[in-house]
């Protein structure tokens, strides 16, 4: 059964939410945030979930890109459209 994916609601002030959803008709991973959440914190969350990780391969002496956290979860058989991450400031 297909589940309907809509536009998630932004969280309360001082909170960040990462999840899969619809924005302007397109489905993608979204970082939603409340008031008083700095841009760098929002970028940090998106970076750690979706960016590939560069490391140095000392044996072959070259840069290697490891898959993102989302890609690694998909490779292991998880449905990443169900991912939900939520955190609040202290």
Convert the pLDDT of each residue in 7-52 to its tens digit: 777 788 999 999 999 988 889 999 999 999 999 999 999 999 999 9
User: pTM score, two decimals?
Assistant: 0.80
Residue 65 has pLDDT above 60, yes or no: yes
- Collapsing DSSP to helix, strand or coil, 82 comes out as helix
CA 14, 74, 54, 58 torsion-angle sign:
positive
pLDDT band at residue 2 under the 50/70/90 scheme: low
pLDDT of residue 1: 52
């Amino acid at each position: 059964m297909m589940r309907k994916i809509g536009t998630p609601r932004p969280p309360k002030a001082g909170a960040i939410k990462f999840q899969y959803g619809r924005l302007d008709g397109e489905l993608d991973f979204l970082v939603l945030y409340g008031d008083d959440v700095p841009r760098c914190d929002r970028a940090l969350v998106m970076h750690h979930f979706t960016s590939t990780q560069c490391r140095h391969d000392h044996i072959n002496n070259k840069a290697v890109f490891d898959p993102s956290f989302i890609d690694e979860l998909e490779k292991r058989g998880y449905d990443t459209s169900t991912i939900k991450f939520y955190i609040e400031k202290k």
